[in-house]
Structure 1
């Protein structure tokens, strides 16, 4: 019987983009050579990160980027999605590093796909302030002026939903605020920043721009009307709140009254057309009303005062992060978006998908990726215009509030020596890519 390690993946269209992804704060290190970010402030507080670690060194990618680009070239990916640290760009010589990285990628035949914001906001700024959106547009213009002669594909923001909800609503991520629904201005200001950055990138000549939003199909915990209502609200909060301003130029009805007073006037900017829409997918969400039965999910504990509770998805294997493995959820998500938004949905790129598991012989990760790529192909066959897929992540890295306790990489990083060792999943993915060529 064929296994995930030896059976070929289904055929994708010519030109389909295969890549891997990382983010600056999670891998770069060299914290002394950049401004402080909100994550530096957050991780300095005792108890905020499970293992007490910081990203001051991380994977030391800042000094080892050539070694890491060689790993990318050996893997055979078409593209590398990385992020440009706003605090580093603000520091002397910061853009020089990205110049060197982009040159190295181009020399290796790997398309650079920079994300302009991946949660590491300069510590001097605050997304509760509307002016931060304009400051971000300035950041986008500076980076595009320096790298735009070699970079053709751009991502504005990564996962504004998580940065809003985890960082500002319930406080388990930086900056650690517990504002609940008073955090919604953070969502709007990030979306406005996205739109203003699209304008800045267009002015610099960019013609291939997207956003990387995290999404999950939402399922009610039961058929009880209270659970169905709670699941509907969660779908609005996680999915529609961050998709519809970009795709439709409006906030979904349940959220309009909760958004800042000036939000409606900003929607024309928020809805600047994108060339493709990025989706980060890890697992579906099963949602019930507060007080309804069922075990809680493996996610962060939620404070009182929310009109929903996340429930465990039973009968599924889970990753080391406690997330259920539901590959068909990716098919459901993409076909659902296709049905909901129709021709308002541009081509889709899966900008993150992956799992945490231990060991260099990581057969669980191979099985996970194999199943999810097949689920992605099912969405393609169902009529979704899917153009690319990025694995999270190239390297074991600093996994935010989990510290170094979770390993998402195709490449193992020794925490003491920082030695890189390609895992079985790296070789599996490399062989799959070679077979296509």
Structure 2
């Protein structure tokens, strides 16, 4: 089976990970900017994304790279604090103009811009008001969404409200490795609910501003029990509810997974029924980010949830210590269709970190493990489509090596190598491979 002629091939990035210049031209600080400063919980990551890939100044060069490689779309995120320095109130014209110029440059190069409104970097001024624990934040997000969509919806067709809200909740409020650096499971229900309300209100705001196609992007990781023991099977079900059904059940069914009252205990609140009408605002597509699976066992030593993941004894693992498991992408695409019905799906992130040299050698960067990762995962997409999954596009993560959040610059996901001393871009073998995939519309996959 071949990919259809209108299948959309692209690459993805996010603002804080590549742009740099977080306070340039009137922009305000984000929670990530402050998190990585001296005294912040992520001070060990300093200087954080202050320079990153300097995409803020080198965006023309990066567009030229995408055009050379033949990509048809570019999924990027907007920095909320670059557009609204205080998170609300007056617009920073220079910040909005940066994204307008980027969009125009992409269109001139024949590349479709795909905008994500929130990819984890929240204005610091809104973090000071409670961040995602603040019940006013969903409304602030809707105002921000309307501002950006009003400026760009005449040129940008496809919009995403939130990227991976689960990570914002889990890493920021349970693990403490992302802003605001909290470790309190009792915060999770309120954070999730406010994220979902922001999504629903954001969809409404985007459409009111003229956006034609609006969706949500989630990360899914199939949870397989480590053994067939009932305790492990139950643990895998809890983990699946917590990660995979946490945001999609409310959006599609208007309710949280049935496991949540027992999982959260006294921390589980009663939410107003009217909220779910907002959360269920219909979406035009679902964005899927897939990297690996989780082999799950019951673990009473873990205070919240009582499960943990165990590695497969023989499968290859990436530099992130994630199992390479392309079958899980087929499984996930079919699961989405079976559980939530016939909605178009775009694979918005898929990729792997493997060790690459700090400086590109004269012969270029050879990354055969990453090439094979892409090959097998694209074959997994084809397998799902052959069985009825409605997949409309695929974006590799990521265009550039970049600031990998709590891991700093230690992990490289890019198909284009970035020398962090000189900021020189060098396409890797994986970029050339994907370029041939796009050129042949997948025929090189066999």
Fold shared by both chains (TM-score > 0.5): yes
Partner of 1:3: none
Partner of 1:80: 74
Q: Partner of 1:124: helix, strand, or coil?
A: helix
Partner of 2:23: 32
Partner of 1:265: 274
Partner of 2:299: 290
Distance 2:406 2:441 in 1: 38
Partner of 2:327: 328
Distance 2:384 2:284 in 1: 19
Distance 1:304 1:259 in 2: 16
Task: Indicate yes or no: 2:84 matched with 1:90.
Answer: yes
**Counterpart contact for 1:23–1:83, Cα < 8 Å:** yes
Task: Indicate yes or no: 2:244 matched with 1:243.
Answer: no
Q: Partner of 1:388: helix, strand, or coil?
A: strand
Which deviates further from its counterpart, 127-136 or 170-179?
A: 170-179
Partner of 1:339: 338
Distance 2:147 2:244 in 1: 31
TM-aligned CA deviation for residue 254 of structure 1:
2.0
**Counterpart contact for 2:36–2:45, Cα < 8 Å:** no
Distance 2:441 2:409 in 1: 34
Distance 2:313 2:179 in 1: 30
Partner of 1:399: 404
Q: Partner of 2:64: helix, strand, or coil?
A: helix
For structure 2, which runs of at least 5 residues remain unmatched after alignment? 86-91, 357-364
TM-aligned CA deviation for residue 433 of structure 1:
1.3
TM-aligned CA deviation for residue 435 of structure 1:
2.0
Distance 1:183 1:291 in 2: 20
Partner of 2:89: none
Q: What root-mean-square deviation, in Å, do the aligned CA atoms of Structure 1 and Structure 2 show? A: 1.7
Distance of aligned partners of 1:361 and 1:49 in 2 relative to their CA distance in 1, 3 Å threshold: farther
For structure 1, which runs of at least 5 residues remain unmatched after alignment? 1-9, 293-302
Instruction: Output aligned runs, 1:148-297, within 5 Å.
Output: 148-255=153-260, 259-291=268-300
TM-aligned CA deviation for residue 144 of structure 1:
0.6
Distance 1:199 1:116 in 2: 13
TM-aligned CA deviation for residue 49 of structure 1:
6.6
**Counterpart contact for 1:22–1:394, Cα < 8 Å:** yes
**Counterpart contact for 1:53–1:404, Cα < 8 Å:** no
Task: Indicate yes or no: 2:66 matched with 1:66.
Answer: no
**Could you give the per-residue CA deviations for residues 343-374 of structure 1, whole angstroms, max 9, x where no partner exists?**
4xx11111100000133211111000000000
Task: Indicate yes or no: 2:132 matched with 1:135.
Answer: no
Q: Partner of 2:124: helix, strand, or coil?
A: coil
**Could you give the per-residue CA deviations for residues 129-182 of structure 1, whole angstroms, max 9, x where no partner exists?**
111000000000000111111011101100000110111112111211111242
**Could you give the per-residue CA deviations for residues 243-267 of structure 1, whole angstroms, max 9, x where no partner exists?**
1111222212222675543353211
Q: Partner of 1:18: helix, strand, or coil?
A: strand
Partner of 1:116: 117
Aligned residues between the structures: 416
**Could you give the per-residue CA deviations for residues 326-345 of structure 1, whole angstroms, max 9, x where no partner exists?**
000101111122222234xx
Distance of aligned partners of 1:217 and 1:305 in 2 relative to their CA distance in 1, 3 Å threshold: closer
